[in-house]
Amino acid sequence: MENAEKTLKEKFGATEYAKLAAINNPELHSFIAKYVQLMEPQTAFVFTGSKEDLDHVRKRALERGEEKRLAIPGHTIHFDGLQDQGRAKDDTQILLSKPVDFGPDINVMDRQKGLGEIHEFLKGISKTNELYVCFFCLGPAGSEFAIPALQITDSAYVVHSESLLYRNGYEEFKRLGAKARFFKFVHSQGELEGGVTKNISKRRMYMDIEGEAAYSVNTQYAGNSVGLKKIAMRLAIARAAREGWLTEHMFVVGVLGPGRMTYFSGAFPSLCGKTSTATLECCSIVGDDIAYLRNKAGEVRAVNVEKGVFGIIDGVNSKDDPVLWEALHGKNEVIFSNVLVTDGGGVYWNGKDGEVPKRGVNYSGEWRPGKKSADGKDILPSHKNARFTIDLASVRNLDPHLDDPKGVVLSGIIYGGRDASTGVPVEEAFEWNHGVVTKGATLESETTMATLGKEGVRSFNPMSNVDFLSIPIGEYVESHLKFGAGLGKPPKIFSVNYFLRDAGGSFLNGKTDKRVWLKWMELRTRGEAGAVRIPTGLIPKYADLRRLFREELDKEYSEEHYAKQFTVKIPENLAKIERMLKVYRENVAGAPRAVFEELEAQKKRLEAARSRDGDYVAPEKFPDA
């Protein structure tokens, strides 16, 4: 400990060391000293969240070219490298001392080997940089949901982003002292060339589950570098599994009903409408991305882990996304990433109102319409995974319970993904286990640019969380089943599909139709709307949807459109069941028996309907629930 304090005093100097000394936690000091010695920064700074500290970080981000000013004061642009535009699954590893069969698409490495490798990458990596030691809090401070988090990084952009996204945790660390059970994150963007990470071949994101620590190097993209984001989910999922609660890739919103507010959480893969749903005008937003769920007196309570939004900007426009549009054009702070910067410091992204600019600068450098990539493809004005980072305080429909230490009571849980051919636009599960298995554990989605790799591939993504799991898939599904068994009033479970297409490839849903689906779900949680019982769940009655389309969208909704959207596609549903049975039998060790029971029961219901009415069955063929 004496050596640790000596290192901290020498590297930080009197003023910065005093900030650390105010926290009585020897484990914390030793950890910081270890990585200060290893990374060998030019200077070191302790970020407490004060105005002075934040001003320093903003200034350094601009000086180092990690961000640049835009025309609107408080708005900045950040660019990631051409090969650093999304979460890099192939470079991500879970570190474990003993080998475990996690299931498909989850990489596992020996813990000692991984730590040795990452420490080699970190050695002397910050010699020309300033190192920032930061204190944040996942969840409302002082709550049983809260997890203190230490971030060490040499990127001012990362610290600036985290100041918008996460609650300040410095006072929480001081309050808890040596009792703090904190997560630890170490990051370096590595050597920069032209303002972006140079050594992408040495990009690594390693999660040390046993040490509740995570490391990322040679990357700037926030999904890889902002430790408290998806990196922290791996640590929290493992802790939650041990302690009997859930860490989920979910928004939390209040849906306005007749004189009341009803709260839902929802899990959607990236680019599947998650943020646009969470920021609908008919909702009050608690959070758009990550939630902790606990059983309190038989009810599910949820908190938003964050206080900001790191959202996909592609397609955001004033008509379909008025709440986000206002936030992105206000006087509040906004960090744009990988959009087009126009002459005069404006920004343009794909799908924004107005004409496409004739020139500008984007993540590929100087840009003009028709610019091609090395493989001959058109480079769009902004990357499809271009983002914005804002504090939720800038969103006008912010829910007053954002910082409630008790969280909000959930009445419904929604799962959604990209599905062009199978699922109906909205459907309710029969009960908890049916919903967990057929809506969550068997969620498939067509891949997008949020993850590096090929687009449009149907991907198995249980609970929209497979990219972030730190426990085996079978154990993860079992944790949901056990969680539900302990509930006196379990939330209803729903699925939505915004991406259903007709035979000609046209979408059957309008972008704003999701308002109607949410309103129907809200009524269902209160027992105030009927339903039709189909083999896969409960769907709306036509009369209810016709009324809701008029009330919410001032739009006529025809019986013909209802039939197209809610016809049960039996061959496609049976094919999905066979895919899922194969995955769980062959690739998921320790899969719960309930998975097979629910899928086989659903298969029998579908086969019975086919024998009676054929392959494609209109909703009027089924009875009321």
Measured CA to CA, the distance from residue 453 to residue 475 in angstroms comes to 27
| H/E stretch holding 157 | helix 156-165
Report the pLDDT averaged over residues 439-458: 72
- From the list 134, 137, 272, 283, the catalytic residue is 272
> What's the pTM value of the predicted model, to 2 decimals?
0.95
513-532, pLDDT tens digit by residue? 999 999 999 999 999 999 99
Evaluate whether 20 touches 9 at the Cβ level (below 8 Å): no
Strands 183-188 and 167-168: unpaired
pLDDT surpasses 80 at 457: no
List the beta strands (DSSP E) in 18-118: 43-47, 68-69, 75-78, 92-96, 108-110
Tell me: domain 247-307+402-621, CATH 3.20.20.70, correct?
A: no
pLDDT surpasses 80 at 561: yes
pLDDT surpasses 90 at 403: yes
Task: Give the model's confidence band at 451: pLDDT under 50 very low, under 70 low, under 90 confident, else very high.
Answer: low
Evaluate whether 347 touches 336 at the Cβ level (below 8 Å): yes
* Phi, psi for 69 (deg, rounded to 5): -70, 150
Task: Give the model's confidence band at 456: pLDDT under 50 very low, under 70 low, under 90 confident, else very high.
Answer: low
Task: Give the model's confidence band at 593: pLDDT under 50 very low, under 70 low, under 90 confident, else very high.
Answer: very high
Is 282 known to be catalytic? no
Please give the C-alpha separations between residue 458 and each of 420, 446, 461, 600, in angstroms, as whole numbers.
Answer: 10, 4, 9, 22
Nearest to 540 by CA among 573, 566, 574: 566
Burial of 94 by CB count in 10 Å (0-12 exposed, 13-18 middle, 19+ buried)?
Answer: buried
pLDDT surpasses 70 at 453: no
70-117, pLDDT tens digit by residue? 999 999 999 999 999 998 989 999 999 998 888 777 899 999 999 999
Q: Where are the domains of the chain?
A: 2-243, 247-307+402-621, 310-394
pLDDT surpasses 90 at 1: no
Measured CA to CA, the distance from residue 621 to residue 396 in angstroms comes to 44
Q: What pLDDT, on a 0 to 100 scale, did the predictor assign at position 449?
A: 52
Token pair in block for residue 573: 């549903």
Q: What pLDDT, on a 0 to 100 scale, did the predictor assign at position 445?
A: 86
CATH homologous superfamily of 310-394: Phosphoenolpyruvate Carboxykinase, domain 2 (2.170.8.10)
Nearest to 570 by CA among 620, 517, 534, 532: 534
313-365, pLDDT tens digit by residue? 999 999 989 999 999 999 999 999 999 999 999 999 999 999 999 999 999 99
Evaluate whether 151 touches 136 at the Cβ level (below 8 Å): yes
Evaluate whether 208 touches 183 at the Cβ level (below 8 Å): no
CATH homologous superfamily of 2-243: Phosphoenolpyruvate Carboxykinase, domain 1 (3.40.449.10)
SS3 annotation, 496-540: ECCCCECCCCCECCCHHHHHHHHHHHHHHHCCCCCCEEECCEEEC
Report the pLDDT averaged over residues 162-191: 97
28-81, pLDDT tens digit by residue? 999 999 999 999 999 999 999 999 999 999 999 999 999 999 999 999 999 999
Q: What pLDDT, on a 0 to 100 scale, did the predictor assign at position 269?
A: 87
Rg for the chain, CA atoms, rounded: 24
Measured CA to CA, the distance from residue 587 to residue 239 in angstroms comes to 24
Report the pLDDT averaged over residues 188-209: 95
DSSP one-letter code for 491: P
Evaluate whether 491 touches 413 at the Cβ level (below 8 Å): yes
**Over the chain, what is the mean pLDDT?**
95
Measured CA to CA, the distance from residue 502 to residue 567 in angstroms comes to 11
Measured CA to CA, the distance from residue 53 to residue 67 in angstroms comes to 17
Nearest to 395 by CA among 449, 323, 458: 323
pLDDT surpasses 80 at 257: yes
Listed in sequence order, the residues at least 6 apart from 213 whose beta carbon sits closer than 8 Å to its beta carbon are 31, 183, 184, 185, 186, 235
